[in-house]
């Protein structure tokens, strides 16, 4: 997982916070940072299993004459090297192609005009489509940049939560930051969850976990309070929509609604072996 982090720059104050989140993430994992400066409202992303066309909201194209200067200033302030680029290949005259051969991508909670009417806490359909197609995870930074001091993996036993466990452990090993597990019991005993964790992570994975936040009682909205406010939360998205492995219903949307934390989301096509 070392091909770098793709960031689509948004030229407004909230975009500055998101870029700072990308800079921090890339710095902690020692990743190359690639910042795309959009000059067109739409672009294509081609994946092995299909294409996603992204329609940006108008904030991405604000004051284009200032975009490069602002990005350079933010990057220099944080003393990190980044490759700043514009699209060079086009499917049509105003439809650029953005490469997809990265290890991670940063998105805000919503990225397109089509998401403008979403209720607070919901992930936009374009971000969801990227997650369902991409081999890389998607970082959704918190609204205001905040360094994270721990990693919390949402584990419910599904294949995508297993991917999240592999990813969370990798980040913990790479950064030296402790990681926790969060499980809202759904039918199975704790021992069944433990066996699934050992199957995915090996015999030593539970020894690496700082604490397993395992809840057999209470609703998830209440129990999410136990996640540290400065944690990076790693969760999975299933091929059939939102993850349902922790409780019935739209768990990922629930997490989004109740947690202000930065999220790292992994989809069904995540390449675990990278």
Among the candidates 113, 140, 167, a domain finishes at 140
Count of the separate structural domains present in the chain: 2
pLDDT, position 122: 47
Residue-number span of the structural domain to which 172 is assigned: 150-266
- Determine how β-strand 42-47 pairs with β-strand 50-55: antiparallel
CA–CA dist 43, 19 (Å, integer)? 19
What confidence tens digit (pLDDT) does each residue in 67-111 have?
999 999 999 999 999 999 988 888 877 789 999 999 999 987 665
Q: What is the pLDDT of residue 187?
A: 81
26 inside domain: yes
Q: Is residue 197 pLDDT above 50, yes or no?
A: yes
Indicate whether 272 belongs to any domain.
no
The structure's pTM equals 0.89
């Amino acid at each position: 997982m070392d091909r770098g982090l793709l960031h689509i720059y948004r030229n407004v104050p909230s975009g500055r916070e998101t870029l700072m989140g990308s800079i921090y993430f890339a710095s902690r994992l020692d990743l190359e940072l690639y910042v795309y400066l959009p000059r067109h409202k739409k672009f294509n992303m081609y994946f092995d299993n299909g294409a996603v066309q992204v329609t940006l909201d108008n904030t991405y194209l604000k004051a284009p004459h200032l975009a490069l200067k602002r990005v350079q200033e933010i990057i220099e302030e944080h003393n990190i090297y980044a490759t700043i680029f514009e699209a060079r290949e086009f499917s049509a005259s105003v439809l650029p192609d953005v490469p997809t051969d990265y290890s991670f991508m940063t998105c805000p909670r919503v990225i397109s005009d089509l998401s403008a009417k979403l209720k607070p806490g919901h992930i936009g359909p374009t971000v969801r489509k990227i997650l369902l197609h991409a081999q890389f995870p998607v970082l959704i930074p918190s609204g205001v940049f905040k360094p994270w001091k721990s990693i919390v993996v949402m584990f419910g036993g599904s294949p995508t939560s297993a991917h999240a466990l592999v990813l969370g452990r990798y980040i913990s090993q790479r950064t030296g930051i402790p990681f926790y597990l969060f499980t809202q019991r759904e039918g199975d005993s704790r021992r069944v969850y433990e066996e699934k964790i050992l199957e995915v992570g090996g015999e030593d994975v539970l020894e690496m976990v700082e604490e397993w936040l395992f809840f057999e009682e209470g609703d998830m909205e209440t129990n999410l309070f136990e996640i540290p406010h400065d944690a990076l939360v790693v969760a999975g998205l299933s091929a059939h929509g939102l993850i349902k492995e922790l409780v019935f219903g739209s768990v990922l949307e629930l997490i989004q609604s109740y947690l202000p934390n930065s999220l790292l989301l992994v989809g069904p096509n995540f390449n675990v072996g990278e």
